[in-house]
Chain A
Amino acid sequence: MRTPDLIRFARDAATGNPLRSFLLVLAMAIGVGAVVVLTALGDGARRYVLNEFSSIGSNLVIVLPGRSQTGGFNPGNAVTSTPRDLTIDDAQALLRARAVHRAAPLAVGTSEISFGGKLREVMVVGTTAEFIDVRRLALAQGRFLPAGDWRRGVSEAVIGAKVRDEMFGHESALGQLARIGDRRFRIVGVLASSGQGLGMNTDELVIVPVALAQAMFNSNTLFRILVEATGREAIEPAKAQVTEIIKQRHDGEEDVTIITQDAVLATFDRLLGTMTLAVAGIAAISLAVAGILVMNVMLVSVTQRTAEIGLLKALGATGATIRNAFLTEAAMLSVAGALLGFVLGQAGAALIRQLYPAYPAFPPDWAVLAGLGTALFTGIVFGVLPAGRAARLDPVQSLSRR
């Protein structure tokens, strides 16, 4: 039997019983559609989280004092257990690295802010003018800390949105003098409300020049140094260069921990990628169910068409021809179902995007391909048994049945 004839014959057989074919296609379509929509949801969640994280500031390298040990007890630690502190000089030295675009030192402590008889405990962050760019923060009002010598600082402060609301209420905060700790600062800017990021709620921060913060907390150490690499591909060089510079400055000892946002992102990426995979696996079960349905329907079809199979054999069809005809029919129905499911799934994902514009519900390519592939595979695999049964039918008995 020629291939075009085989395909036409299978198509006619499929359309000869529209209800049966429709139900089969529908089952397959639901399976594939479920894979497409569910992976779109899972991958959408992944993209959503990644987007949120990128808004913290891209190409970020964070330097922490002290070496975080992951390799268990190291005898060297017994001798030099106290890490050297990070200082403003260290932070400034990092600017020499070629892969470093900007750096912002960070000194953190808690203190009190008081204004007009109101008192509030706040987290005080001492930093420099670069901080707002490195962290990609936005101002609601006024300006940020002025650029200048990191070791000095004018008594100016930038406050978070929530601090502003609670301390100043309806009054304008800009230009007011407020007491922070034991000093008086002029409020020059208010941060735009943003939310949580890297464990700090910027809405409740008070930002002052780093030198003044260190004086306030009577310490010359830094909590962190935030480093922005010159580009995404410069993150690794920046990490190496930062390590090298700190090592030189700390008597050859590598006593800082450097984490990159990439590492954090990669973790989330993996986590949510796995979740998407799990969801896809669950959806694939519906494909397996659809495959069993294909088998069931094809078996019924073989029974219904017993006389026809007997006739075809009498007319000279070999067992292989009969098997191919039934396999082709199962494959065609599966393909039709898979394509319909693909369209339905894409439509469903588009609907989700329409309803929740912030949610990037795009099905990943691998999931679409895997869904279509599984549909075809199950359709054909589950078509083998009925096709084999049809091929083995005894023509005499098939023909004697009406």
Chain B
Amino acid sequence: MSAALIELAGIERVFHLGDSEVHALRCLDLRIAAGEYVAVMGPSGSGKSTLLNLLGLLDRPNAGTYRLEGRDVTTLSAEEQARVRSERIGFVFQSFHLVPRLTAAENVALPMILAGIAPAQRAQRVARTLRDYGLENRADHRPDQLSGGQRQRVAIARATIMQPAVILADEPTGNLDRATGEEVMRLLEALNGQGVTLIVVTHDGALGARARRQLLMEDGALAHDSASPDEVKDACALPT
């Protein structure tokens, strides 16, 4: 079991709101193997978004270690973390987060631009990716000229253009109708089929049920893990 893609041990994340401390994550241990399809579920405020941000290296834990591909990434500098995000992690957001002034092709190219990849190679990969997602006719359209489903397809294309090891999707269908949501989920699942680890945060039970493994979050702790249902997770539970 040393081949775990993601390995969290004793993760704590505390937010300070005025005088009170909010434990968004507490005493979290989690292993996710490469190629898994995981749904993180739970009510709002249960810490699932915080978990996703931690996994995406957008946030740092107050305690605990996070090993990505066997490498401790919690101690990396901000620059090194940015590099890991660029090369290993793809994000898909509920509200797409496309840059409004850039065309679909430019939005897809953005991670490669930030990574400093040469324009010729960029153009080739963008063209191929747009074709894969059926967006070749929309390459020069700006986000406001695209439908919601097309926007999320652009966002997924952008998340995969750097060929990441893991894709983190935060309510990817939250702003879409059922049909387009279904279409977007099939795209993500197809990526998972190609070996990309897929972690989806959702409070939609139907969506969560599609995943091969479900994690249920409650009050910043893992309440249920479908992979090890019997394991009690409060080994280091602290009184609040």
Inter-subunit contact B116/A317 (CB<8 Å) = no
- With A314-B85, A316-B162, A321-B114 known to touch, is A396 a contact of B53 (CB < 8 Å)? yes
**CB-CB < 8 A to B116: which residues of A?**
1-2, 5
Which single residue of chain A is at the shortest CB-CB distance from B50?
A396
Name the distance in Å between B96's Cβ and chain A's nearest Cβ. 10
A318: Cβ under 8 A from any B Cβ: yes
Q: For residue A400, which residue of chain B has the nearest CB?
A: B49
Q: Is A308 an interface residue (CB 8 A)?
A: yes
Of the candidate stretches A9-17, A58-66, A201-209, A344-352, the one touching chain B is: A9-17
Residues of A within 8 A of B115 (CB): 316
Residue of B nearest to A6 (CB): B113
A314 touches B56 (CB 8 A): yes
Q: A321-B114, A396-B53, A396-B59 known; A316 and B158 CB under 8 Å?
A: no
Q: What is the CA–CA distance of A26 and B85 in the complex, to the nearest angstrom?
A: 40
Q: How many A-B residue pairs have CB under 8 A?
A: 70
Interchain CA distance A310-B119 in the complex, whole Å: 24
Contact at B79–A314, with CB atoms within 8 Å? no
Known: A2-B116, A13-B101, A321-B114. A316 touches B86 (CB 8 A): yes
**Does A320 reach chain B (CB closer than 8 Å)?**
yes
Cβ proximity bits A359-402 to B, threshold 8 Å, 1 near / 0 not: 00000000000000000000000000000000000011001001
A316 proximity list for chain B (CB < 8 A): 82-83, 85-87, 111, 114-115, 162
A9 and B91 contacting across the interface, CB-CB below 8 Å: no
Asked if B58 is at the interface of the complex by the 8 Å CB criterion, the answer is: yes
| A123 at the binding interface (Cβ < 8 Å) | no
Cross-chain contact B59 with A315 (CB below 8 angstroms) = no
Does B93 belong to the interface (CB within 8 Å)? yes
Contact A315 B86 (CB under 8 A): yes
Question: What CA separation (Å) do A9 and B99 show in the bound complex?
Answer: 11
Query: Complex: how many Å from CA A4 to CA B85?
Result: 23
Distance in angstroms between the alpha carbons of A321 and B102 in the assembled complex: 18
Query: Which residues of B in the span 22-56 have a Cβ within 8 Å of any Cβ on A?
Result: 53, 56
Assess whether B97 is interfacial by the CB under 8 Å rule.
yes
Q: Complex Cα distance A227/B113, Å? A: 75
Any chain A CB within 8 A of the CB of B78? Answer: yes
For the complex formed, measure the closest distance between the CB of A315 and the CB atoms of chain B, giving whole angstroms. 5
Task: Given A9-B113, A399-B58, decide whether A315 and B78 contact each other with a Cβ distance below 8 A.
Answer: no
- A164 within 8 A of partner (CB): no
Contact across chains for B113 and A1 when beta carbons are under 8 A apart: yes
Chain A, 279-331, CB within 8 A of any chain B CB? 307-308, 310-321
User: Which residue of the partner chain, among B79, B101, B114, contacts A312 with CB atoms under 8 Å?
Assistant: B114
In the assembled complex, the CB of A333 is this many whole angstroms from the nearest CB of chain B, namely 16
A313 x B58 contact (CB < 8 A): yes
Contacts A1-B116, A316-B85, A320-B79 known; A12 to B59 CB distance under 8 Å?
A: no
- Cβ contacts under 8 Å, A311 to chain B: 93, 97, 99
With known contacts A1-B116, A399-B58, A315–B101 Cβ distance under 8 A: no
Cα–Cα, bound, A1→B119 (Å): 11
B97 to A399, Cβ gap below 8 A?
yes
Which B residue's beta carbon lies closest to that of A317? B114
Query: CA A227 – CA B87 in complex, angstroms?
Result: 84
Give the residues in chain A near B110, CB-CB below 8 Å.
312, 315
B95 contacts chain A at the CB level, 8 A cutoff: yes
CB neighbours (8 Å) of A321 from chain B are 82, 114
Closest chain A CB from B127 CB (angstroms): 18
| Set A1, A307, A308, A314: member contacting B58, Cβ < 8 A | A314
Instruction: State A2–B56 Cα separation when bound (angstroms).
Output: 24
Complex CA distance for A15 and B102, rounded to whole angstroms? 11
Nearest B residue to A311 via CB reads: B97
A314 to B97 CA separation, bound complex (whole angstroms): 10
A4 to B118, CA, bound (A): 11
Q: Is the CB of A16 within 8 A of B101?
A: yes
CB distance from A96 to the nearest CB of B (A): 80
Query: How far, in angstroms, from A274 to B172 measured CA to CA in the complex?
Result: 67
Q: Which residue of A lies closest to B58 (CB)?
A: A395
CB distance from B173 to the nearest CB of A (A): 17
Query: For residue B59, which residue of chain A has the nearest CB?
Result: A396
Instruction: Please measure, in the bound complex, the distance between the C-alpha atom of A319 and the C-alpha atom of B93, giving whole angstroms.
Output: 21
Give the complex CA separation of A311 and B96 in angstroms. 10
Residues of A within 8 A of B99 (CB): 308, 311
Show the binding face of A for B, using Cβ within 8 Å. 1-2, 4-5, 9, 12-13, 15-16, 307-308, 310-321, 395-396, 399, 402
Given A316-B87, A321-B114, 16 new contacts (CB under 8 A): A12-B101, A311-B93, A313-B85, A314-B56, A314-B58, A315-B85, A315-B158, A316-B82, A316-B114, A317-B82, A317-B86, A317-B114, A396-B59, A399-B93, A399-B97, A402-B95
- 8 smallest CB-CB distances across A and B, nearest first, come from A316-B86, A16-B101, A318-B82, A395-B58, A311-B97, A315-B111, A316-B85, A317-B114
- B residues at A contact (CB < 8 Å): 53, 56, 58-59, 78-79, 82-83, 85-87, 91, 93, 95, 97, 99-102, 110-111, 113-116, 118-119, 158, 162
Offer 14 A-B interface pairs, CB within 8 angstroms, sorted by A: A2-B113, A2-B116, A5-B119, A13-B101, A307-B97, A308-B99, A311-B97, A313-B85, A315-B91, A315-B114, A316-B114, A317-B86, A318-B82, A321-B82
